[in-house]
Amino acid sequence: MKSHCPKAAGQSSRFTDLVERLSSKDMRQDPRLTSGDAVRLAWEDLSTGPRFVSGKCVDVSAAGLKVEVLVPIPVRTNLMVRAEALGLSGSGVVKHSLRRGTKYVIGVQLSERRLTKSRDAVS
């Protein structure tokens, strides 16, 4: 009877090779640009009312940005985003929120694609 167990350690399969190749590449549609610029986020908290926080933009693309902040923001929270140095002002939604040490890394998907290929050119 033939075993249906995965291959032994040290052996590779087409699937694991594919997963390794795909995970080693950035599969995002848009290139990300490293930032470091200040960003201001605003949202409505149902229990406490309007909330505001300043953070640091880690990277940015036409479709979104990664921001470091000192407070957690729940996934699916609608935000207003303002980053003057990037010429960015608009809305977005939190797609992920991860704690990293004393900070939270927030992934924000913008409601409209904002950046073009040049960091200084915003539509």
For the chain, domains (ranges, CATH) are 33-110 (2.40.10.220)
- Express each pLDDT in 10-65 by its tens digit: 444 444 444 444 444 455 567 788 889 999 999 999 889 999 999 999 998 888 99
- The predicted model scores a pTM of 0.69
3-state secondary structure of 17: helix
User: Which tokens go with 91?
Assistant: 């809305």
Predicted confidence (pLDDT) per residue in 82-91, tens digit = 998 888 889 9
What's the rounded Cα separation, in Å, for the pair 28 and 44?
A: 29
Q: What is the rounded distance in angstroms from the CA atom of residue 104 to the CA atom of residue 70?
A: 6
